[in-house]
Each structure stands twice: as C-alpha cells, then as structure tokens.
C-alpha cells in the first residue's frame, strides 16, 4: 500500500499532532542571568541538500554530507523557535512555519507551547528575525493566531518590511515554487499584520537585556537577538548560520538574498562569538541548537553545549 518511509513519516506526524506528550524532546530551557530562555522545536523541514550550498561544487557538498553519514540528496533542516522571559515580558522570537504544509514535518509550535505550559495570550511581544515563511507562517496557523493577543506588537527591522513590499530574488537560488510561496506569505503578512508592526532601524530593546539587532545579509532586514544579564550572554543567530557554515562559511544558502553579504555577516558573528566564547542558538541548527563556536584553522568548529538537566 505504501512504503516504509511513508509509514514512519505518517506515524511521526500523527503522534506529534495528536499528543502533547511528544515522543522526542521538543523544548529545552536555560537561563541567561535573570532571563529565562526556552528553545522550542517547530519540527523539521526536509529540503534538497543543495539548498545548503548553492555555490558549492556538488562533489564538495556530497563529500561534506557523506563525511557526516548523511544522505546525498535531502537535508532535513531543524526549525527552532525561542521564547524569552525578562522583566515581566514574554517574547516569542519567530513563529515556525504554520500548519499549511503537510509535506514538512513542522508547524508544531502552538501544540508545543501548550505542552510547555505557555499560553499564547501571555506573549507580550513577537520578534521576527526576518520574513521567510518558516519564521512567520505560525502567525497564520489557527493554534497560534487564535491564542495571541490581537494587538500583540510585532518587532521587525524596517528594512525587512520595506524589502518585502517589492522583494528581489535575483541573487537567491531557491526553487521557483518555494519562491512563489515565500513571496505570497510575506505579502499576506504585510497585509494582515501591518497595524501591529513596531519597526526599528538598527536595534531595539524588547525587554530588559533582550535586544534585537539588524544584521542584514540573509535578507536585508535579517536580525539576531542578543541576550545579556549580569555576566551571561546568549545570541540567537536566526538564519545567519546553517549547519554547514562552521566548516564552509563561504557556502551560500539558497535562501540568502544577498549571499556575499550573508557570508560577511556570518563570518563576523562567528569570529566574535569564537573570541568571546559566548554561547549561541540558531534557527536551523540541530535542536536545541545551543552551543559555542571555536576557531579551527581558517574556518570554525561547532561545539554543542552539554545538556544541563
């Protein structure tokens, strides 16, 4: 009737959606001084492996994947969302992909917020790292949209809102159907959420010690979130770094709208975090994506955090 791969995928999706007690861990809590941080997995996105490295020699990408015992054609992108609590505010950073894409094993944010005991109505602020559909799609999912306060402020770089009013895909390498989807979801977001947008130019302190800072690169308004409390620090890098970028920071992600600038932003951030030894998280690093980066020759090395529990 159907093959084993489909059977296991169907079961995973079914169980995840039906039961808040997931079979896999989907949230990871940590503290940064007085700031509470919760990483939540929205699920995973199986995509063509070539999306990791649009400018790579295919043999080099194949070798990179093979060295990690990964299949050559599909790379399953993790999709992480972060909830930050500081000074009485509850900040949701990105919203996952939403529920309109059964081909992705994702869109689980609302369910997993519930399982973590977080009522969307308690969210005081939403921060968007950028407007790609895997970051804003949750805002169109009933589970989240129905629970968020209808006037919750949404913080976004002004350059991002401006870019998506008339987006430029000429330097990105994404498959055309995905490009169409990304464009239509971004347009819908601007139509439906414009009155809630709180735009910033360079950076904005959303809550005590929680600063969203525009980097550009991946998209013109792409932003990271810097957490600082006492001597503790943690940076959420959004889409500035993907799993291959520690070894190959020069590889262009297919979704980078300005790939050369994305490389500069990535290298600058990784060099800084390697020098300070401060921890980081990122949207598409393997859950919970918490770790550090070290310098390794003229590239970098990912050092996952030891789980504290």
Which of the stretches 63-71, 117-125, 232-240, 296-304 binds Zn ion when contact is defined by CB under 5 A? 232-240
State the nearest-atom distance from the C-beta of 287 to Zn ion, in Å.
Answer: 14
State the nearest-atom distance from the C-beta of 172 to Zn ion, in Å.
Answer: 12
Nearer to Zn ion, 134 or 278 (CB): 134
Q: Does 94 bind Zn ion (CB under 5 A)?
A: no
**For residues 52 and 39, what is the distance between their CA atoms, to the nearest angstrom?**
23
What residue has token string 């590889």? 251
State the nearest-atom distance from the C-beta of 90 to Zn ion, in Å.
Answer: 22
Which of the stretches 51-59, 190-198, 236-244, 297-305 binds Zn ion when contact is defined by CB under 5 A? 236-244
Whether 282 and 240 have beta carbons less than 8 Å apart is answered as yes
Pick one of 239, 244, 256, 258: the residue that binds Zn ion (CB under 5 A): 239
DSSP letters for 81-102: EEEEEETTEEEEE-----SS-T
Q: Does 99 bind Zn ion (CB under 5 A)?
A: no
Q: Which of residues 129-148 bind Zn ion (CB under 5 A)?
A: 134
State the nearest-atom distance from the C-beta of 178 to Zn ion, in Å.
Answer: 12
Nearer to Zn ion, 154 or 174 (CB): 174
Please choose, from the candidates 44, 14, 40, 45, the residue with its C-alpha nearest in 3D space to the C-alpha of residue 110.
Answer: 40
Nearer to Zn ion, 86 or 95 (CB): 95
Longest Cα pair distance anywhere in the chain, in angstroms? 58
Q: Where are the beta strands (DSSP E) in 119-200?
A: 125-127, 154-157, 197-200
Nearer to Zn ion, 94 or 278 (CB): 94
Dihedral angle, C-alpha 253, 255, 258, 259, nearest 10 °: 10
**For residues 102 and 260, what is the distance between their CA atoms, to the nearest angstrom?**
33
Nearer to Zn ion, 134 or 244 (CB): 134
Which of the stretches 59-67, 126-134, 223-231, 244-252 binds Zn ion when contact is defined by CB under 5 A? 126-134
Q: Tell me how crowded residue 229 is: count the other CB atoms within 10 A of its CB.
A: 17
State the nearest-atom distance from the C-beta of 261 to Zn ion, in Å.
Answer: 17
Please give the size of the binding site for Zn ion, defined by CB under 5 A.
2
Nearer to Zn ion, 106 or 123 (CB): 106
Three-class SS state of 272: helix
Which of the stretches 37-45, 144-152, 239-247, 267-275 binds Zn ion when contact is defined by CB under 5 A? 239-247
Please choose, from the candidates 92, 90, 89, 83, the residue with its C-alpha nearest in 3D space to the C-alpha of residue 39.
Answer: 83
- Which parts of this chain interact with Zn ion (CB under 5 A)? 134, 239
């Amino acid at each position: 009737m159907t093959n084993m791969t489909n059977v296991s995928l169907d079961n995973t999706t079914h169980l995840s959606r039906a039961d808040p007690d997931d079979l896999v861990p989907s949230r990871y809590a940590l503290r940064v001084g007085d700031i509470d941080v919760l990483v939540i997995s929205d699920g995973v996105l199986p995509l063509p492996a070539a999306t990791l490295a649009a400018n790579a020699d295919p043999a080099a990408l194949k070798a990179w994947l093979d060295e990690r015992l990964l299949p050559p054609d599909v790379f399953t992108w993790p999709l992480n969302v972060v909830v930050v609590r500081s000074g009485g505010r509850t900040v949701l950073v990105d919203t996952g992909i939403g529920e309109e894409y059964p081909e992705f094993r994702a869109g689980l944010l609302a369910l997993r917020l519930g399982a973590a005991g977080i009522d969307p109505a308690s969210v005081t602020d939403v921060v968007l790292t950028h407007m790609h559909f895997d970051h804003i799609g949750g805002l169109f999912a009933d589970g989240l949209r129905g629970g968020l306060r209808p006037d919750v402020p949404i913080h976004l770089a002004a350059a991002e809102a401006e870019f998506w009013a008339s987006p430029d895909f000429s330097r990105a390498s994404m498959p055309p159907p995905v490009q169409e989807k990304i464009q239509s979801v971004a347009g819908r977001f601007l139509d439906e959420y414009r009155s809630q947008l709180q735009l910033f130019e360079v950076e904005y302190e959303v809550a005590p010690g929680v600063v969203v800072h525009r980097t550009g690169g991946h998209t013109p308004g792409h932003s990271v979130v810097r957490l600082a409390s006492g001597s503790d620090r943690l940076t959420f890098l959004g889409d500035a770094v993907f799993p291959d970028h520690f070894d190959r920071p020069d590889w262009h992600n297919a979704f980078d709208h300005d790939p050369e600038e994305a490389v500069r932003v990535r290298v600058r951030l990784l060099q800084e975090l390697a020098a300070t030894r401060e921890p980081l998280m990122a949207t598409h690093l393997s859950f919970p994506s918490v770790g550090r980066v070290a310098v390794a020759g003229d590239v970098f090395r990912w050092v996952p955090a030891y789980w504290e529990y």
